[in-house]
Amino acid sequence: MGDNGSVWLPDPGTALAGEVDSLFWFVFWTSTVMFAMVVLAKVYFMVKYKRKDDRDVPAPVEESKILEAAWIVVPTILVLIVFTWGFDVFVKLSSAPPDAYQINVRAQQWSWEFAYDEGATSYTELYVPVGRPVKLNMTSADVLHSFYIPSFRVKHDVIPNRYTSVWFQAEEAGEYNIHCTEYCGTQHSGMNAKVVAVSEEDFAAWIAEQSQDLPPAVLGQQVFAQCQACHSIDGTPGIGPSLAGIYGEEHEFTDGSTAVVDDDYLLESIINPMAKIRKGYQPVMPAGFSALSQKQLDGLVAYIKSLE
């Protein structure tokens, strides 16, 4: 039935995902057989014992103690097998190898930030080396989120003021979807990213390149990946106003006041988004961006200034 695996489950991207799948298929087929037995018995009885005479009053059936016991004992044994098996794989999923490569993950409405010890930071792509265990230490800047990679069968909630983790070891180079699976607001379904699994050499090269000091506007462009769910750079209004060519413009706010877009205004709007609300927009911008580093903030301001 492995060929149907693609109908039910995405291709497993890790060895452990394969183990989860074996368990899935065991439960699936055991359940299917038992379900089929229930349905067949039901249909057979419906037809066989259909009322023929309206005056018919059938006698009660002597209940078989052995049969009754079997209904209880057999499923109990089956679920204990399934429980133990699931327990075993769960412990493996929960225990990262001690030598795992660690990446810090910060979730906020509605983006992911992946910070590497070497100094690199990425937002929409989580680069990982193939064949090496990777452990993600995750925390949230605002509300609950949940980090999910369907192909790796790993998921864990991401909680403010606390670290949680998942680990995996990608088997093949490729891209795998990341989703947020704990509801976190308007753009919850847009809070996606990708795992990019590459060879050790490519990974080392990527880390080296990313960890250099970037010009502020280039760094800002990378950080801006977190803003794209709501702010366009081509003039199209989204949940938030487009940022194309706003530097130097005069903006009107919901309270009727106005201001000219300068560096201070940009910085304030990032770290304290409720201070000034553009006319025609809702006060819905998350507050979590105040946690960005000064360097990232400088970069963002430089990048937004550069937009035309």
Partner 1 sequence: MSHSAPGLNYLNHAKGFKSWALSLDHKRIGVMYMVAVSLAFLAGGILALLVRLELLGPGETIMGPDAYNQSFTLHAVLMIFAFIIPAIPAVMGNFVLPIQVGAKDVAFPRLNLASFYIYLIGAAIAMTALVNGRIDGGWTFYAPYSTSIGNGILWVTSGVFVMGFSSILTGLNFIVTVHKMRAPGLTWNRLPLFIWSIYATSIVQVLATPVIGITVLLLFLEKALSIGIFDPALGGDPVLFQHFFWFYSHPAVYIMILPAFGVISDLMGTFSRHQVSGYKFVALSSVAIAFLGFLVWGHHMFVSGQSAVSSIVFSLITYLIGIPTGVKVINWVQTMYKGSVQLKSPMLYAIMFLFTFSIGGFTGIMLGVLAIDVHLHDTYFVVAHFHYVMMGGNVIAALGGLHYWWPKFFGKMYNETLAKIAAILVFTGFNVTFFPQFILGAQGMPRRYYDYLPQYEGLHALSTYGSWILAAGLFLIAGYLIASFFTGKKAGLNPWGALTLEWTHTTTPPDHHNFHDTPVVTRGAYDYHLAGHLFQNGGEVTELDLGGDGAGAAPEVAPLSHEPAH
Contacts with partner 1 in 157-196 (CB under 8 A)? Answer: 157, 159-162, 164, 177, 179-190
Find the binding residues for partner 1 in span 205-244 (CB under 8 A).
239
What own/partner pairs with CB < 8 Å and gap ≥ 24 does 11-15 have? 11/151, 12/151, 12/152, 12/153, 13/149, 13/151, 13/152, 13/168, 13/170, 13/171, 13/172, 13/174, 13/176, 13/197, 14/151, 14/152, 14/153, 14/168, 14/169, 14/170, 14/171, 15/169, 15/171
Q: Which of 82, 100, 130, 271 contacts partner 1 by CB under 8 A?
A: 82
Cα–Cα nearest to 140, from 118, 122, 113: 113
Find the binding residues for partner 1 in span 241-280 (CB under 8 A).
none
Per-position x/- string for 38-67, each x denoting binding to partner 1 as judged by CB under 8 A, each - no binding: xx-xx--xx--xxxx-xxxxxxxx-x----
Q: Which of 106, 135, 153, 305 contacts partner 1 by CB under 8 A?
A: 153
Q: Write down the least CB distance from residue 101 to partner 1, Å.
A: 21
Q: Is 94 in the site for partner 1 (CB under 8 A)?
A: yes
How many other C-beta atoms are found inside a 10 Å radius of the C-beta of residue 172?
11
Contact between 105 and 114 (Cβ < 8 Å): yes
> Residue 181 or residue 232: which is nearer to partner 1 going by CB?
181
Q: Is 143 in the site for partner 1 (CB under 8 A)?
A: yes
Q: Is 281 in the site for partner 1 (CB under 8 A)?
A: no
Find the binding residues for partner 1 in span 96-115 (CB under 8 A).
none
